[in-house]
Amino acid sequence: MDKDRIIALLNQDLGDEHGAIIQYLTHAYAMGEGEMACEIEATAREEMRHLDWLAETIVELGGVPSLKRGKMRMSGESVAKWMGNDVLLEEGAINQYKEHIELIDDPKIKRVLKRILSDEESHHGDFQHFVDKAEREGAKDIRGNRMDRVVQTLNWGIEHEYTVILQYLFQSYMTTNKEVKKELEDQAINEMQHLGWLAEKLVNISGNPRIEHTEVDQSTKVADMLRADIKIEQEVADEYDRAAKETADPDLKKLLLRLRDHEIYHADVFSALLKEEERQG
Ligand SMILES: [Fe+2]
Ligand SMILES: [Fe+2]
Ligand SMILES: [Fe+2]
C-alpha cells in the first residue's frame, strides 16, 4: 500500500478518536461529579493518547494530521442511552482498526494499531458495564438550560480552549524544533485542564457546555505559529480579565483570574520562544 493511502486511513482513525474524545467528555461533564464520570474522563484521556500516536505516525510518513472531527453519536435522553452510544462508537472503532490492521503492511504501524485496538476492546466492555450501572443507579443529566451572560462567557472560554488545544497539538506535530514542540505540548495539556474547569463550572451553574471550536491557525513556520499563539493568548487573557471584573460570583471570579494568569504565562513562554527563533532565523 502506498504512503498516501496509509496516511488517509490513519487520518480517518485520527478523526474518529477526536470525535470519541468530545463525545465522552460531553457525557462525563453532563453527569457531574462521580465515579462513572471520572472513569469516562479517563477513557477520553486514553483516546487522546491514541490521537497523539496516530498524529505522530502520520507526520513520520510525511503527512499532515487532519483536524476533521469524526462522526459523533450525541442523541439519547438518558445516561444509559448515552452509554449505549459509547458502546456503539467503540464497536465502530474496533471494526475499523481491525480492517486497517489487515490493510496496512508496515509492522511498526500495525503494532501501534493493535495496541490501540486492545484499548478499544477494553473500553467497549467498560461502556457495556456503564449501561447497566447507569440504569441501576439512575444516573442523571445534570445540565440545565440557563442562558445568560455568565453562561455565554464560559461557553466562549470553552470554544477558545478547544481551539487552542487543537492549534497547539497541530503545531507540536508539525514543528521540528524540539523546545517549541515540548512547550506546545505542555500548554495544550494546560488548556485541556482549562476546558475541564470551564465545563464543570458551567454544569454546576445549570448551563450546558458546548464543545465547538473556531478556526485553527495552521502555520507551518515556527515564527508564524508563535506569532499566532501570542496573539490568541493576549486576546483571551484580556477577555478573562474583563469577565472576572464583571462577575459578582467569587468562585467564578477566582477561576477566571486563574485562567487569565495562565494565559499571560503562555503568552510569555511563546514570546520568549519567538525571540529565540528570530535571533536564530
Ligand atoms: Fe481510541
Ligand atoms: Fe486556556
Ligand atoms: Fe493559553
* SS3 labels along the chain: CCHHHHHHHHHHHHHHHHHHHHHHHHHHHHHCCCHHHHHHHHHHHHHHHHHHHHHHHHHHCCCCCCCCCCCCCCCCCCHHHHHHHHHHHHHHHHHHHHHHHHHCCCHHHHHHHHHHHHHHHHHHHHHHHHHHHHHHHCCCCCCCCCCCHHHHHHHHHHHHHHHHHHHHHHHHHHCCCHHHHHHHHHHHHHHHHHHHHHHHHHHHCCCCCCCCCCCCCCCCCHHHHHHHHHHHHHHHHHHHHHHHHHCCCHHHHHHHHHHHHHHHHHHHHHHHHHHHHHHHC
Ligand lying closest to the C-alpha of residue 89: 1
Distance 190 CA to ligand 2 centre (A): 7
pLDDT of residue 40: 98
Ligand lying closest to the C-alpha of residue 266: 3
Distance 76 CA to ligand 2 centre (A): 30
pLDDT of residue 70: 97
pLDDT of residue 147: 92
User: Residues lining ligand 2 (ion), CB within 5 A?
Assistant: 161, 191, 194
Residues of the chain with pLDDT under 50: none
Distance 250 CA to ligand 3 centre (A): 22
Distance 119 CA to ligand 1 centre (A): 7
pLDDT of residue 149: 93
pTM of the model: 0.97
Ligand lying closest to the C-alpha of residue 255: 2
